[in-house]
Amino acid sequence: ATGFHVHRGVLASFHRKPLPSADEVLAAARRVVVLEDVNNHTNLGAIFRGAAALGVDAVLLSPTCADPLYRRSVRVSMGEVFAVPYAKLDRWPEGLDQVRAAGFTVLAMTPAPDAVPMQRLTPAQRERAALLLGAEGPGLTAAAQAASDVRVVIPMRRGVDSLNVAAAAAVAFWELGREDAL
């Protein structure tokens, strides 16, 4: 018991609209984020919020990602999971070919020392960017990195090897959109 009268029953019920296809989402987007195995609902919600705030048009999820409509994801996103279009890529990592076929450059985020620093991406690589991020801890699988076009890194200082996936996403979103006219 909490000492308070807290309602723990059903507060609302709704039917989910069918998700759009990945092709529909890609056709309407200029910049997307693709998530592999992101199962932490807090990180997922924070990525949606960062996407909405920093100019990312849509989110694509690998088959093993958490549900964006899970209560914690909705709360952390401040409701942006309802505003940012998202879809699932049914085949993984083969679905990245579908992203590329839609005209996107797949940018795999990794702390690897041989990755291209994000600020050195060419205008062509930035034009229609699909930023690929992996789960907290393990990061992207080798198969997902191999299916990407360019491996990119946010340069770190003071011996720090990486950032939380949601923090890395926000920095990368800002970097990709920093020259957008507001």
The pLDDT tens digits for 168-181 are 999 999 999 988 86
Q: According to the model, what pLDDT value does residue 15 have?
A: 82
What value does the CA radius of gyration of the chain take, rounded to a whole number of Å? Answer: 17
Q: Three-class SS of residue 58? A: strand
Per-residue pLDDT reduced to its tens digit, 75-103? 999 999 999 999 999 999 999 999 999 99
* Nearest CA among 46, 35, 38 for reference residue 93: 35
Cis upstream peptide for 93 (omega within 30°): yes
Residue ranges of the domains in the chain? Answer: 22-177
Q: How buried is residue 130: exposed, middle or buried, by Cβ count under 10 Å (0-12/13-18/19+)? A: buried
DSSP assignment of 89-148, as one string? Answer: -SSTTTHHHHHHHTT-EEEEE---TTSEEGGG--HHHHHTEEEEE-BTTTBS-HHHHHTS
Residue 65 pLDDT greater than 60, yes or no: yes
Q: According to the model, what pLDDT value does residue 106 have?
A: 98
Alpha carbon distance 65, 137 (integer Å)? 14
When pLDDT is averaged across residues 128-157 and rounded to a whole number, the result is 96
Alpha carbon distance 36, 109 (integer Å)? 11
pTM over the 0.85 mark: yes
Q: According to the model, what pLDDT value does residue 179 have?
A: 84
Domain 22-177 belongs to what topology? Alpha/beta knot (3.40.1280)
